[in-house]
Structure formats: C-alpha cells, structure tokens
Structure 1
Amino acid sequence: MTSNSQASRHNTASVQLLLQFGLDHGLSGDRCLARTGLDWRRLAEPGFAIDARQELELIRNLVNALGHLPGLGIQAGLRYRLANYGIWGFALLSCPTLRSAIHMAVRFLELSYPLSEINEAFEGDRVVTTIDDSGLPEDVRDFIVDRDIASSISFVRDLIGTALPVESVTLRRPEPADASPWQVLFGCSPVFGADENRVVKNAADYLDRPLPGASAEVARQCELQCEALLASRRARSGFAGQVRARLVAKPGSLPGAEALAADLNMTSRTLHRRLAGEGTSVRQLQEEVRESLADELLASGLPLTQVGEALGYGEVSNFIRAYRRWKGSTPHQHRKLLSDRR
C-alpha cells in the first residue's frame, strides 16, 4: 500500500468482483492477489482502501492465468452492477431518464475510479462510447477495455431493463481467434484493429423515457454527495498534485503528456504510470483544471468568449459543450444561479 492518500483511494468493490471472478474460475485467492499486497480478509472492511496499481496487478494475475479464455474481460465486465458503485451508482439509478443518467455518469465518472479514459456522448439519438486506452499497460489493455465496454452495457440494463441496440463497434485490439463473445455482447461483428475503441448505440426509444427508479429528491441528495466526494478527491497531493500545479500555471494552453514529462525529467510512459498509480491521468487533470477555473472566470463576469479563450477553447460552442459535460448545465444557467443567489 502506498502512503499517498490519493493513491490509496480506489474502487474496492471492483477488486472484490475481480477476486470472486478468479475464484469462480478455479484460482486460489493467493494466486489472484499475488504481488498486490492485499489481504482478501480485509477487502470487505468499512473504509478499507486500495490503489490503482493493486487493481492492475490483480487484473494481470487474472490475464496470466485465464487469458486463454475467449472474451475474459467481457465475462468480468458483465458482473459489474450500478449497486456496486455506492453513491455514484445510486445517483444514476435515481435519475428521471436515461439521458440525465448518462449526463450524471459523465459528470461524476471519476467517482467510479476508471482505469481507462471513458467518454459517453450524444450524437442525435445515439449514445457513443469511446475508450482511450493509450495510458494502460499493454499486457492488461485488452482486458480492461473489454471489461469497461461490457460493464457499461450492464449499467444500462440496470437503468432500463434491457440493452440498447448496437449499430457499430470498432476496437483497437487485434482480432481474436474466437470473436463469438464480442458478437454475442454487441449483436453484431466488431471491426478489430481499428484506430479507436468506439461503440455506437441507438437510444431513440429510451433516452427520455422515465426510469423505474426515478426520484427527484434522492437524485438531488446523491448529486450533492457526489459533488462533495469529488471535491475531496480533487484535493490533489503527491505526484498528481505536482502535475496539476503545472497545469494551473498555464490554463490557456495546457501542456500535454510529452511536455509535462519533459518538465518533470521523465518519460511520458513513466508519467502515465505514476498518475495511474494515483488513480488519475493527464487528461483527467486537464479537465479538473479547466472545470475549476471555469467557475471562477464565470463568476468574474467575463463574456463567454473570453472565458472559453482563457481556458484554451477556440470556439465558445466547444466550451459550452465541455461545461455541460462537467456540470450538467450550461454556463448561462450557472450565471443565472449565481445571480439568483446574490
């Protein structure tokens, strides 16, 4: 266990699910947890915390032992349920519609402790899921992408009772010898060896249909708790704090991974690895900096065009879309709220 408080905060429920997955496939607990530094007897203790590196090592053990099984990551991902994710999952389940639940999921995605860069976006009545796996270790990359895609499908089933029809899938991984697990999951054949991991689903019949667990009061209370947890989590320290400080110094032209790595006298690979060990990434830190500065600049009364330019957005429309993704509302709505409070 690392002593860094941020590095030790990760999804214990995920580790419990992965451990049980290994046990169900005939592995011993010791083999699943080898080199993780974890004791299975402590995983269920209230407040017990782990770090991302320990989850990665557990996944590595599963892949090394069970990697011959077709669609291993898919099998694991379908075990994930929203109820395993505490307040983040309950917030989604209490949303009025699938559309609002997706907005809520993206806004507080950090609380689900993803290992990859996941994004959900709307294109008309379609929901597009993309996963950037560039920061993941190569030996566990395919498992994590498959797990994340399968779990996102599982989450939608929790919300609407069924899966959304999949229109197209592209995956960066090489085509496996047996592609049937992917064909069963998506209902179509993915394009393997593509440039990006992208799943397009048709949600026309479901986006604005009331959800069975909808509760405005519960959703609001969950949202407030998520906001508090996210603020606490983003009180960065350790290595992530060093990187964030460099980003804050240049909000209008946030340096990328290569520039940050050079500034810190390390390779970009080491940068990605160390941030992953603290449960974050360059892109996530960039988003945090832009989001926090956006509220400050909006409160100052600057025109939206100037706020967008100060944060590095060439078009104000791009800034508005980003702000809606962060907050679930527009900059105009945020300003009106500030005005009403005053």
Structure 2
Amino acid sequence: MPGRELMRSVTSMRVLAELAADHGMSLGACLAGTGVPEKSLADPAALVTANQELRLIRNLVEYLGECPSLGLEAGRRYHFTAFGTLGLAMISSPTMRSALDVTMRYFGLTFAFTRFQVADRDGETQIVLDDAGIPKELRRFIVERDACALITIQRDLFAQQAPLQRLAFSFDRPAQAPEYKAVFGVSPLFAAPANLAVFDGRLLQLPLPQANELAQRAAEEQCRRLIGERSAQAGIVAQVRERLAASAPRMPDMDTLADQLCMTTRTLRRRLLSENTSFIVLRDEVLLNMARELLATSCLSIEQIGERLGYAESTCFINAFKRWTGQTPHAYRLMMRAERLGPR
C-alpha cells in the first residue's frame, strides 16, 4: 500500500489487541502472521511496520467480522494520549485548526491508513479521508476507525462544542446506521463519492483550554526528531513517496520537501540520484498510482479524480495520464472493468 513506508509505534497494535481481547479473541490469533512478538506490545519504544499493523487488522476483521461497527468501537479508543508526543503537540496548540495543521505536518506519527486531504472553503474545514490503496475487505473498518479517532481526539481537545457539521462515507448504508449518529453526533450520508468530514471553521478557531506555546514548540521539536529517526530506517525514496502521497493534492515542491526532511535541496537531489531516480519521477509515480487506484475502484468522474490529484483542469490530468501510460484515463477504466468482469 503506497504512502505508509514509515515505521510506526506499536501503540496502535496494542489498542487493537485490547479490543480483540474484549471480544474473546486470543492474543496469539490477533498477532498471527504479523511477526510481532507478544512482549513487544508492552514495550513503549517498539516500532512496527504499517504492513504488520495491517495484518493484525485483517486478523481482527476476519475473526470478528460479525461484530457490527467494529471500526467505530476501535476508533473510540484512540485518545490523544495514544499518539504520544504528537498528542502533546495537538493539545498544546492554540486552536483546533492549528492542532490539525500540526497533525498534517507530522502525519507519519499517526496510525491512519487513510490519507487526510484538508481544505478550507466558505467558512468550513473539509477533510477527505482518502482510502485509495486500502484492501477492499478492510476498507470499511479502517475508514470507520480513522474517522472515529479523528472525532475522539477533537472531543479530547475541546469537548464544549461540536464543530462537526456533516459526514459522508463511501460504503453502503449499514443496518446499524442509527449508531453512527450516537457516535458522531450527526447522521452520515452513505454511498457517497468520498469519505468526508466537514467542520465549522469558526469553531475550529476557538482557543484550546490547554494551549501552551512553549510546550507545543518542545513537542514539535520532538516530533521532528522522531520523524527523522524513523525515516532513517527507510530509504530516501520511501520517505519521499510517503510525504508526497500524504500531501496530495497539495504536494510540496522539492525545496519544501527537502526542508521537511531536514536536508538541503542539493542533498536530496544527490541522494535520489544515487538511487537512480528523481523528485519529478517519484512525484509522477505517486500520482499515477493514486490515479490508477481511483480509476479502478471509485465512482468518481475523470474530472473529480483530476481535482483529487491537484489538477485544475481535467484536460491536464488526461494529458498527464496518457503521457505516463499511453492511454486515456477513460480507456484505462474500461480496461480494468473488463478485467474484473472476465471473459463472457
């Protein structure tokens, strides 16, 4: 799955293992195939890969598939304290909106598998939870978990008012739909074109009760250090892919990305060249992978997919896709549909 190469804390796997235990699932069954020893769950310094956590999620969903709204139950367990230093940076931020900015800057320290795309429009803050690249059989659980964790943290930071105005999910309406209103405070739209949470921008600008400039600066510095340490365990190509994919559709330019990686542009260019690639090649690769995923699995129009990838005009997206693959996005979508249907 693209964009999740960075190592992550074992905390999320521990949260999910506790959820499994509450439903009678043994720890051995929960960790089967992950390669993570049981003792690591008790080690606050232990790191795992995204694929190891994804395998645990697969075990959980396959074992407890009959449990309705399992993702919601999981998401309610992700309080800001689960995110360690990032959680401290969030809660010490001056406003909820700035806390969201901090989260996006250090997104690699979250446990999300969806990619957050944040935009401010007409007094609202909109967050798309992009589930491209997530295995279909795990998609609903992960989207539910990530969305519910977002709201859980919001309530931890500022419980007095509810800034969430609207919510939409791309999966079909489940039988237990009324439960979603009890969890989120609003009734979601189901079978929507995208997973979307819309917040009242005015409420997000209200001061947080535990804002502390010095604490936030110290926490952000620690976040930068953690990102650097974990990035060192992945190649530079993986790091660049991670940040580009997490930032879509507003991908950083090379100068900005080099600064995020705590190096000069010249050093970044040289290190990419040493791995026989370049910033432009990797950017196009990430865009192509995202485009293919959306064309193959979503009901979004060509124009909507182009917008999702940051193209102002659909013709620009069509021309880029044709340059990458030799065919138009429409032709690729038809080909993928034909492959799924098989010979008749």
Q: TM-score of the superposition, structure 2-length normalised? A: 0.68
SS at match of 2:48: coil
Aligned CA distance change for structure 1 residues 282 and 292 (closer, same or farther; 3 Å): closer
* Shift, 1:43, TM fit: 1.4
Look up the match of 2:221: 224
SS at match of 1:130: strand
Over the aligned positions, Cα root-mean-square deviation in angstroms equals 2.9
- Give the aligned residue type for 2:105: R
Aligned CA distance change for structure 1 residues 202 and 87 (closer, same or farther; 3 Å): same
Look up the match of 1:148: 146
Q: 1:188 aligns with which of 164, 170, 186?
A: 186
SS at match of 1:199: strand
Inter-partner Cα distance in structure 1 for 2:100 and 2:40: 33
* Shift, 1:97, TM fit: 1.6
SS at match of 2:182: helix
Look up the match of 1:92: 90
Aligned CA distance change for structure 1 residues 163 and 50 (closer, same or farther; 3 Å): farther
Q: Mapping of 1:39-58 within 5 angstroms? A: 39-58=37-56
1:207 and 2:169 aligned: no
1:77 and 2:42 aligned: no
* Shift, 1:125, TM fit: 3.4
SS at match of 1:43: helix
SS at match of 2:43: coil
**Identical residues among aligned pairs (%):** 32
* Shift, 1:56, TM fit: 0.7
Look up the match of 1:9: 7
* Shift, 1:183, TM fit: 2.4
Look up the match of 1:304: none
Inter-partner Cα distance in structure 1 for 2:164 and 2:44: 38
- Give the aligned residue type for 2:218: Q
Q: Which ranges of structure 1 fall in alignment gaps of 5 or more residues?
A: 1-5, 248-279, 298-310, 313-317, 319-342
Inter-partner Cα distance in structure 2 for 1:136 and 1:148: 12
Q: TM-score of the superposition, structure 1-length normalised? A: 0.68
Deviation per residue, 1:82-136 (Å, 9 max, x gap): 1111111100111122122111111111221422212333334322121110111
Contact 2:6-2:230 within 8 A present in 1 as well: no
Deviation per residue, 1:118-175 (Å, 9 max, x gap): 2333334322121110111111111001000000000101111246243222211122
Aligned residues: 260
Look up the match of 2:257: 292
Q: Which ranges of structure 2 fall in alignment gaps of 5 or more residues?
A: 266-282, 285-309, 311-344
Inter-partner Cα distance in structure 2 for 1:49 and 1:66: 26
Inter-partner Cα distance in structure 2 for 1:54 and 1:112: 15
Look up the match of 2:134: 136
Aligned CA distance change for structure 1 residues 235 and 193 (closer, same or farther; 3 Å): same
* Shift, 1:46, TM fit: 4.2
Inter-partner Cα distance in structure 2 for 1:121 and 1:84: 26
